[in-house]
Amino acid sequence: MAGLEWIGLPDAVEEWPLNPEQRRAVELTEGPVRIIAGPGSGKTRLLVYRIAYILKRRLASPHSVFTVTFTRKAAGEIRSRVDTLLQASDIDAGDLPISTFHSLAFGIVRAEAEWLGFNPAQLRLCPPAQARRLLRLVMADAGLDGRWDAALIARCIERAKDRLVAPAEYVQVPGDLMEETIARVYGRYQALLKERNLVDYSDLVPAAVQVVTRNEAAHAFYPELCRYLMVDEFQDTSTSQYRLMQALAARHHNVCVIGDPMQSIYRWRGADPDNLLRRFSEDHPDAREVTLTETHRSTQAVLKAAAAVVEVLGLGERRLTTTQGPGEPLRLLRSESEQDEALRIAREVERLVESGQALARECAVLVRTRAQQRLMEQAFLRAGVAYQLVGERPFFRRPEVRTMLGYLQLAMDPFDAGALAAVVNTPPRGLGRATLQKLRGDEFQLTTECLLGAEGRSELAPAVRQAVAQVLELINELADAARRLPLPELFDRVLERSGYRAYLAGQVPDEAAGGDEEAPAGDTPEEESLAELRRMALTYAGEDALSRFLADMELRSDDLAVIEDGAQLATLHAVKGLEFPVVFLAGLAEGVFPHARCLEERGQLAEEYRLFYVGLTRAQRQVYLSYARYRENRGQVQEMAPSRFLKCLPRELLERC
């Protein structure tokens, strides 16, 4: 470990760019440490300098300093900052194990694949879409009909895996129909994955725990290798992730966990804030604790509002201090409808930009659900205000939307080559790239005329000619339907006759089970996108409805409206860890945020408060709080009460505008 006199850091830690709380946390390297880090308190800086301190003091080699976080982006940010510090040394930041929990687990699983019963050379991670199809295949094989919800069973299996419960251990009440059915499906699903040399995403961490705790050689190797372990966003750890952390730290006990119980917002994904609040201290009674209270992100007004949310949850007084000054009051916006609310926010962003108070990219519009995000997207498109989506493709760039518009375009014009290319093999019909190139021949692009000539081409396989004939029959049927049916009915006809609805729902044909039965399923994101597109189509009527609809959709999908410098439209779950000068918290009505399904259960409602806290503390200087008096729900207009979150904020912090 030569060359450690580098780093461009003085030998005295007192001279490092850290406040006293951060410095103490950096120097507490030995034994268990719990760090409570409020929003904007510099925990990433702390992690980076803690790694530097361990290396500079020669406490361990880079290979033995593990850092685990929850997103590839966060891991990349930590690695990038460490790399900047290490650039004057001969240490490669790539030697440091900085990764997500799942990436770390996959490395262990891949290395120990043979012990787990897999072929190491062929082990693959099963993509989520394929995992859904395999589960529905298992359900169809088990003869489960439409009364069984595939999405519910998938969640039950994921929870069982996270709790390290094997299929044979799943049934707690013998004779219980639900438990015994899930156990049977769970067992067969796992067997099918192993037959295909696959592990799904929810297998990774439990399998790594199994390896490290039960494989004698692995139990001796990994905890010895891991001399220092740092876990970021510890409040988001699940049962299996906590167990993996404990297993890796079992030899040296140098484990440092960093988190904030008020930013635990992934309970629905298995996160357990008790790991930070209680379990770590119980399992490590000798743990030292550091609380970071100085933030450089938000103004005093934002922090006072956030502190009021903490007080509601009874987590004690949160004494965060800031260097950002008193700040502006939080601005309250009230609109009549959700559409008015979305458009008003778009116009306010436009006003801030035109007046020079903010750049568009400095404004974030945060909502509770994807449906609200899409409503905001439509308003920004309508207002001509630049935007970008965080964590999701823009609506008109989603494959399912483009495919559906392609089908409708082909129904209007059966000879549209662009539309044909978009849908000819969606869903898959055995017309892959090589086959389509053969069908195209010398033509510049695939056309309907190319398909019409396929019947007499003997060099094409019979299956190809049959698939082409089915596509031509479908085109004719849809063209006829376009002349006769209202647009919403045409929309439904396209989904059914093309087979696209069944494909998106994850239909898995199974000869042993009788072929074409569709397994039950909840709405997928793709199905939700198409439902939104259909809602747009409802306002078009008359003989030219289809042509007007397609023309309007083309205008709305103009790429100029979606640029990198635009306002950020995001769900609250997608922005934890980010910060913005101006934040709009939209949809602050009872049943919207907090969400209706979270109002009855205390734990879920507490998480909604924490989600509101996260939203507030993304703001650096200005917060807008917005709600609509009325919203439409399943065709019915409902009057909405303002969110309870607004009532917990001190009145002197709010300003109507």
User: Using an 8 Å Cβ cutoff, are 265 and 607 in contact?
Assistant: yes
**Which of 232, 272, 341, 362 is an active site residue?**
232
Residue 178: both structure tokens together: 């639900």
Q: Quick one: which of 134, 184, 126, 175 has its CA closest to 156?
A: 184
- Other C-beta atoms closer than 10 Å to the C-beta of 512 total 8
Distance CA 17, CA 46 (A): 10
Can you spell out the DSSP letters for 346-402? HHHHHHHHHTTS--GGGEEEEESSHHHHHHHHHHHHHHT--EEESSS--GGGSHHHH
Beta bridge partners of 100: 69
Distance CA 395, CA 526 (A): 11
Contact indicator for 451, 439 with CB cutoff of 8 Å: yes
Task: Clarify whether 534 is annotated catalytic.
Answer: no
For residue 488, count other CB atoms closer than 10 A to its CB. 16
Nearest to 519 by CA among 134, 99, 97, 105: 134
Contact of 294 with 21, CB cutoff 8 Å: yes
CA 645 to CA 601: how far, in whole Å?
17
From 39, 85, 481, select the one nearest 233 (Cα to Cα): 39
Using alpha carbons, list the distances in angstroms from residue 306 to 279, 290, 524, 606: 26, 21, 34, 14
Contact between 594 and 605 under an 8 Å Cβ cutoff? The reply is yes
CB atoms within 10 A of CB 141: 16
Q: Please identify which of the residues 162, 200, 233, 348 carries the catalytic annotation.
A: 233
- In terms of Cα–Cα distance, which of 369, 306, 398, 359 is closest to 568? 359
DSSP 8-state code for residue 568:
E
602 Cβ contact list (under 8 Å, min separation 6): none
Residues 17-20: contacts with CB within 8 Å, 24+ apart? 17/45, 18/45, 18/46, 18/49, 19/294
Annotated active-site residue 44? The verdict is yes
Looking at 246, 263, 620, 622, which residue is catalytic? 263
Which 8-state DSSP code applies to residue 476?
A: H
Identify whether 233 is a catalytic site residue: yes
Distances in whole angstroms, Cα of residue 143 to Cα of each of 139, 325, 450, 511? 6, 64, 42, 13
- Catalytic residue selected from 34, 43, 161, 304: 43
C-alpha–C-alpha distance, residues 86 and 7, integer Å:
5
Q: What angle do CA 502, 439, 433 make, to 5 degrees?
A: 55
Give the rounded distance of the alpha carbon of 511 from its chain centre. 35
Does residue 263 have an active-site annotation? yes
- Known active-site residue 232: yes
Residue 620 and residue 297 in contact, taking contact as beta carbons nearer than 8 Å: yes
Core vs surface per residue 326-351: b (16+ CB within 10 A) or e = ebebbbbbbbeebbebbbbbbebbbe
Q: Rounded to an integer, what distance in angstroms lies between the CA atom of residue 203 and that of residue 216?
A: 21
Q: Which amino acid is at 634?
A: R
Q: How many CB atoms lie within 10 A of CB 94?
A: 10
CB neighbours (10 Å) of residue 636?
7
How crowded is residue 221: how many other Cβ atoms within 10 Å of its Cβ? 16
Catalytic residue chosen out of the listed positions 161, 368, 618, 631: 618
Residue 591 DSSP label: B
> Which member of 29, 44, 293, 339 is catalytic?
44
- The reply to whether 100 belongs to the active site is no
Catalytic site positions: 43-44, 232-233, 263, 618
